[in-house]
Amino acid sequence: MKPRLRIAILAHSTNPRVGVVHALEIGDALCRLGHEATVHAPDASGAGFFRETRCHTVSVAATPVGRNVADMVETRIADYLRHFEPADRRGFDVWHAQDGISGNALATLKERGLIAGFARTVHHVDAFADPRLSALQARAIASADRLFAVSRLWCDRLARQFDHTPHLIGNGVDTMRYSPVVDAADADLRSHLNLPAGAKMFLSIGGVEKRKNTVRILEAFRMIYPRHPSCLVIAGGASLLDHDDYQADFATALAASGLPDGAVIRTGPLPQTLMPALYRAAAALVFPSVQEGFGLAVLEALASGVPVVTSRIAPFTEYLGGDDVLWSDPHDTASIAAAMASALEGHPAMVARGFAVASRHDWTTVAKAHLPAYVALTEAAYA
């Protein structure tokens, strides 16, 4: 029989960001495979994780901190170190960080001889102006004994930059949670957002961020609005990073857009129970990112039967075929606008292909892809 592993998975927060979603999903999948997974995260709100889980979860006490990102990162690393100082909290066979905060905490625990080694998933690498953040990001990657990446794009970049070949694990989607099947949450969502019945809605996921290309999404929406009156819903945005300058640019662009009140709705983070209904309410997911690790929202939209407007760049071109989505040039507003307008025409064959794409990406397969590296870590620890 294969050994039952006790796996500590560490995320940067309890909020519904991609790395946290990924951590909880692989934690649940590992438990279904017979392992014992526990997902940890600093919990600044005290509200716990954003959804119920099959795996164990631990909310790590989070020290109050100001808005400076470097100070916040260093504080959260210290919070993790404080949490794992007692030996009875370190009863795991495998340690796995999902981000730079937890990666630095595990690197320090390793330096102190309190753990033997750790794995790190790199979803993408940020460009930081603050040298402290750049150094911490590099340390969290270089110090890992095993690296995971969700796309070939980032496998190749990490191999070149860190001379450390990652394991390609991919990404998944829960097609029971995200589907076209309407339930009570659909009416709750329209009430929550005050959406008129039958209103066409474009959906952007991830809040207002530069790498999400939100200003160009707004500009593209403004271009098509006179011919296609609709609304743009921008959901999410629970980021630990500082996006204030870009959000100010977005506010300026919105004020100058001439769009009527209510045409653009920023929801902030929504309850997880409403997210499947949010996708179903959309005429299209508009996701022309300029940088992604994978683009998890794309799979969630496809599983929900929703056309997707996305960027004709990697990593999207790795797992999407030529007719699976509506492609755009993320640096060309007119290209994004044309794809958005096309989405309103209806694409039943594309929707059917989207279901097929989603069905090929399940979380159990992603979890299994981790196991050879996990076993290698345990063997090295007990060698």
Nearest residue to 9 via CA among 45, 35, 32: 35
Q: pTM here? A: 0.94
Is the C-alpha dihedral spanning 108, 109, 114, 115 positive or negative? negative
Across the beta sheet with 284-287, the strand order is 264-268, 231-235, 201-205, 284-287, 308-311, 326-328
pLDDT for position 142: 96
What does the pLDDT profile of the chain (383 residues) look like in tens digits? 468 999 999 999 999 888 999 999 999 999 999 999 999 999 999 999 999 999 999 999 999 999 899 999 999 999 999 999 999 999 999 999 999 999 999 999 999 999 999 999 999 998 888 999 999 999 999 999 999 999 999 999 999 999 888 999 999 999 999 999 999 999 899 888 887 777 789 999 999 999 999 999 999 999 999 999 999 999 987 666 667 889 999 999 999 999 999 899 999 888 889 999 999 999 999 999 999 999 999 999 999 999 999 999 999 999 999 999 999 999 999 999 999 999 999 899 999 999 999 999 999 999 999 999 999 999 987 76
Q: Mapping DSSP to helix (H, G, I), strand (E, B) and coil, where does residue 284 land? A: strand
Please enumerate in sequence order all residues whose Cβ is within 8 A of that of 281, keeping only pairs 6 or more positions apart, or say none.
186, 189, 190, 195, 201, 203
pLDDT for position 67: 86
pLDDT for position 383: 65
DSSP conformation letters of 323-363: TTSEEE-TT-HHHHHHHHHHHTT--HHHHHHHHHHHHT--H
Cα atoms found within 13 Å of the Cα of residue 150, Cβ hemisphere only: 25
pLDDT for position 1: 43
Query: How many secondary structure helices (H) and strands (E) does the chain include?
Result: 14, 13
φ, ψ at 142 (rounded to 5°):
-65, -30
For tokens 């921008």, name the residue: 234
Domains of the chain: 6-172+362-381 (3.40.50.2000), 184-359 (3.40.50.2000)
pLDDT for position 243: 73
| Tokens representing residue 139 in the block | 């340390």
d(CA 7, CA 374): 9
| Tokens representing residue 378 in the block | 């345990």
pLDDT for position 238: 60
